[in-house]
Amino acid sequence: MSCQPSLKSNLDQLCQAQHRLPSSQKGVVLVITLILLVVISLLSATTLRTAINAEVVSSGPRVVVMGHQAAELALKYCEEATVQQVQSTVTLPSVPTIQDYSALASATPKWQDLGNWDSGRVGVFVVPASAMNQAGPYVSYNRLPECLVERLPLANADNSTNSSNSFVVTARGFGPEVASGTARPAGAEVWLQSTIALN
């Protein structure tokens, strides 16, 4: 049966009835759309949370690497400063004070005592900011790296010691998230050490 405008009025009513939706189907599209919107929102929130967690996880190794770079810079700086002091050719803006390594076998070296690093600051040298932080888009460190230089004693045959030109250089670097100050650091902390012998 076809719906033509020229047909009688009961045929018109029948055509109109065919195009009408049953009352139980009114608003179903709105409900389905809202359900899909909620599902898409939940998926978006989950994806965002996953991305944030991935960023947090990946930033851990990054700050450790940056702390390692800071410790390497401090180690190199203090090694060079020690060489310049021994050779009396100091050109660096500031240099660490060389500490005497304890001659007693029972004594703890200064670099092993955390009190020297975090509170007492005995012999701890802070690398100048000019050697560390750079202007521009580079990451700046809140806490600058530190080092401690100790002269190693030479043991004689009679167990006495002499002063030598051998040194233990200990450096400690921090990640960019570590706050400035002298308290125990909270964040990435890297220790490096070298022994140098000069003629």
- Residue range 139-161: average pLDDT? 79
Under the banding of pLDDT at 50, 70 and 90, the label for residue 68 is: very high
Does 42 map to a domain? no
- Residue range 163-184: average pLDDT? 87
Domain span including residue 130:
62-197
Tokens standing for 6? 């020229």
- What residues have CB less than 8 Å from 187, skipping those under 6 apart? 63, 67, 174, 175, 177, 178, 179
Bridge partners of residue 197, in order along the sequence: 166
Note the pLDDT of residue 43.
93
pLDDT tens, position by position, 3-30 = 555 545 665 665 565 556 555 666 788 8
Does 22 map to a domain? no
Maximum distance among all Cα pairs of the chain, rounded to whole angstroms: 131
Note the pLDDT of residue 192.
95
Does 46 map to a domain? no
- Residue range 152-167: average pLDDT? 72
Does 87 map to a domain? yes
Reduced to 3 states, what is the DSSP secondary structure of residue 170?
A: strand
Does 178 map to a domain? yes
Under the banding of pLDDT at 50, 70 and 90, the label for residue 133 is: low
Number of structural domains found in the chain:
1
The DSSP output letter for 117 is I
Model pTM? 0.66
Note the pLDDT of residue 132.
74
pLDDT tens, position by position, 105-119 = 567 788 888 888 887
Note the pLDDT of residue 101.
72
Question: Considering only 59-68, 159-168, 172-181, 183-192, which range has the smallest mean pLDDT?
Answer: 159-168
Does 73 map to a domain? yes
Is the pLDDT assigned to residue 35 strictly greater than 90? yes
Does 40 map to a domain? no
Does 148 map to a domain? yes
User: How many helices, marked H, and strands, marked E, lie in the chain?
Assistant: 4, 7
Q: Report the 10 Å Cβ neighbour count for 89.
A: 8
